[in-house]
Amino acid sequence: MSSRRNIKGWGALSVAAGAVLALNAAQPSSVTAQSALVPSMLVSVGACPAEGALCTAHRRNLVLDGRSLALDTRTASGPLDLVLRTSGRLADVTVTDHRGRRVAGAVSPDGNRWTSVAPLPADSRYAVGLFVERTGGSGPAHRRARLDLHTPAAPAGERLTAALGPDGGTYGVGQPLTAELSHPVAATDPGGRRAVERALHVSSEPHVEGSWHWVGPTTLHYRPRDYWPAHATIRVRSALDGVRVTDRLYGGPSEPLTLTTGDRIEAVTDVAAHTMTVLRDGQVVRTIPVTTGKEGYRTRAGIKVVLGKEATVRMRGDSIGITRGNSDFFDLKVQWATRVTWSGEYLHAAPWSLDAQGSEDVSHGCTGMSTEDAAWLFRTVREGDVVRVVNGSGRPMTPFDNGYGDWNLSWSEWRRGSAFGPATGSAAAGALLPAL
C-alpha cells in the first residue's frame, strides 16, 4: 500500500508493543467541509515488561506519512497492538516482514484493535498496511495508510536455538517431532515457554491438529491429536531468531526440517491370543504367532513406536539386570530385531521358542517369532511405525523416558504439557505466514 500524507476523515491510532493500552486519543480540531484533516498517530513504545501487563510508556503523535518508527522490543515483550482511537473500524490490517512474510494477527470484534499473535522479533523491519472504514452522512468511506516499523537488534550474548528432529526422511505415522533447545526454559517461566512454542511452526499436508508438549526444560515433543495421515508432508521451522525468550535470552537461527510419512503400518500384539496382527492402511496383511514376556518379565502394555532396526544384535541378560549365573541369564545373537524401547525391547526372530509361539509366554519381555516372520516384519516396518500391545498384564509403557510412548497420553493430557494449556488448542502456532 502506498503512503498518503493527507487522508480525510480519520484520526489517531495508537501503536503499542505490549498489552491493551488505556490511552486517550488526540482529537482533530474543527475544520470546514473543504478542509482536510491531517491524521495523527499516537505511539507508545516500550515499558511493557510482559504479556498482559499495562503499558504506561512515553507517547507521541506521528503523521501517517510512511515514516519509520522504532519499537523497542527489549523493554516491550508483548505482542504488537494497533488501536483505532477515532470513529470507524479497522476493516483490514496487514503486517509484513522484510522477507514478505505476513505476521499473524486478528482484528477485535468491534473493529477497533488489531493484535499480533506473537511479539515481533528483534532486528527486523515491517510494513504495516491499514484499511479503515468509516460511516458518514454520505455512506461508508475507506481510507488507507502505511507505517514502517523496525525493531532494534538483540543485545550481545548467547542465543537459544532448537535442533529439530528426527532427521529428514520417511517415517511411520506414529513418529513424534522433537525440539532440543540449546538453553533451558524452566516451567516457572511460562512466558518464555510460550515464546518458544509460538516460534516453533509445524505444518502438514494434509492438515491435522497438533501441539507441542514440554518433556523437560530443554526438550519438546510434537504430535497430532491422532496419528499423522499416511503419505503426509510435514514441515517444521523455527522462527526463534530475534525473539525475546527471557530478560537475558534471545532466540537464534535454527535449521528447518521436512519429512514425510509412508503407509499407515500398525503391529498389534494380543498377549492373550499370542498373536501379532499387522495392518497396512487399516487392512490386515499378516497374522503372526508370537511369544511375549513370561512372569516377572511381562511385555510392556500400550503404544510404542519403532525406534530402529538391527539385522543382528547381541542380547545379554545383564543389560536388563539379570546377572551371570542366574538361571534366567542369556547371551544370544538375535536376527531381524526391530527395536521399540531404549531399554532393549525388540520384536525379533526367536527360533528357539517355536513350540511356544502362538500358545505360551516364555521371553524376557521381547516379542519373539519365527525367523521367516521376523525377517518379513523387518522389511515391512520403518521408524515411526506403531506397535500396540493389548490384553496383557505388563506395566504400562511410559511416555518419554524409554522411547516414544507419547501416544499413551490422552489428547487432554498431552495438551496440559503445552505452555498454552489444554483450552487454547494450537492457535498460538504459526506467527509468521506466507504473504498473500
Phi, psi of 320 (to 5 degrees): -120, 20
d(CA 221, CA 166): 11
Grid coordinates of 127 = 510494513
Specify the amino acid at residue 227. Y
Q: Cell 473543504, residue? A: 34
d(CA 394, CA 361): 12
- Please work out, in degrees rounded to the nearest 5, the angle formed at the alpha carbon of residue 97 by the alpha carbons of 95 and 98: 140
d(CA 307, CA 284): 22
Task: State the catalytic residue, choosing from 55, 221, 274, 366.
Answer: 366
Say whether 48 is catalytic. Answer: no
Residue 145 vs residues 7, 18, 35, 142, 239: alpha-carbon distances, Å: 8, 22, 19, 10, 28
Task: Output the DSSP codes for 398-431.
Answer: PSSSSS--GGGS-HHHHHTTSTT-TTSTTTT--S
Task: State the catalytic residue, choosing from 213, 221, 274, 348.
Answer: 348
Grid coordinates of 206 = 494434509
Phi/psi zone of residue 403: left (φ > 0), alpha (ψ -120 to 50 degrees), beta?
A: left
Local structure of 330: helix, strand or coil: coil
Q: Which residues are identified as catalytic?
A: 348, 366
